[in-house]
């Protein structure tokens, strides 16, 4: 792989343009992925926020569900934000009947854990590997209820006296409950681009 990896953004919903721009600023060649031929070109994939059940259904419609699942299982680096975290989780709480994920993270995620749209919030968050806090934006965000032994917790927030996990990494798969593409701080994307390299 070159020092400028090709990183796709699953481009059916969410902040696709913002992720593409952040990846480019971090030294990757970023491409929108809606077809198998586009996925085939990628060294890694970003799964943006949106609505996780809709994104899974659209992945089926575009005949990308199994190819994405297979590539992640075979070791392709992946980064999920918000709904993307849900799509990378091996287990979901609060999901709809039959909800599917690509898997790749040994975690149990709770959908809409922080509440409804009106409960969205933002704040500064310490993230492992970064010297200064990240301004994190949470929109109808999930959190991680349980993480397996191979999962490294990168960040958590306190909610009602309990620490809730909101960023993790397992091998070459990384995920956040918040939206690092919002704003002008590209350091979380930078962590992922370094992971891909």
For the annotated catalytic residues, the residue numbers are 82, 179, 181
φ, ψ at 79 (rounded to 5°): -135, 120
Local structure of residue 95 (DSSP, 8 states): P
φ, ψ at 20 (rounded to 5°): -55, -45
Contacts 24+ apart (CB under 8 A), 126-133: 126/155, 127/154, 127/155, 127/167, 127/187, 127/188, 127/191, 128/152, 128/153, 128/154, 128/155, 128/167, 129/154, 129/191, 130/187, 130/188, 130/191
């Amino acid at each position: 792989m070159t020092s400028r990896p090709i990183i796709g953004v699953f481009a059916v919903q969410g902040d696709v343009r913002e992720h593409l721009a952040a990846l480019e600023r971090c030294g990757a060649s970023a491409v929108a992925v809606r077809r198998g031929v586009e996925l085939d070109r990628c060294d890694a994939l970003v799964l943006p926020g949106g609505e996780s059940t809709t994104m899974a259904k659209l992945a089926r419609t575009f005949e990308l569900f199994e190819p994405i699942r297979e590539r992640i299982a075979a070791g392709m680096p992946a980064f999920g934000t918000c709904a993307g975290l849900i799509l990378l989780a091996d287990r979901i709480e609060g999901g709809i009947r039959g909800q599917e994920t690509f898997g790749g993270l040994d975690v149990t995620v709770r959908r809409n854990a922080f509440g409804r749209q009106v409960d969205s919030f933002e704040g500064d968050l310490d993230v492992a590997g970064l010297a200064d806090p990240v301004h994190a934006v949470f929109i109808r965000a999930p959190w991680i209820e349980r993480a397996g032994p191979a999962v490294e917790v990168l960040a958590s927030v306190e909610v009602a006296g309990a620490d809730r996990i909101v960023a993790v990494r397992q091998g070459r798969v990384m995920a956040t409950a918040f939206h690092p593409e919002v704003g002008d701080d590209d350091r979380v994307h930078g962590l992922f681009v370094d992971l891909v390299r």
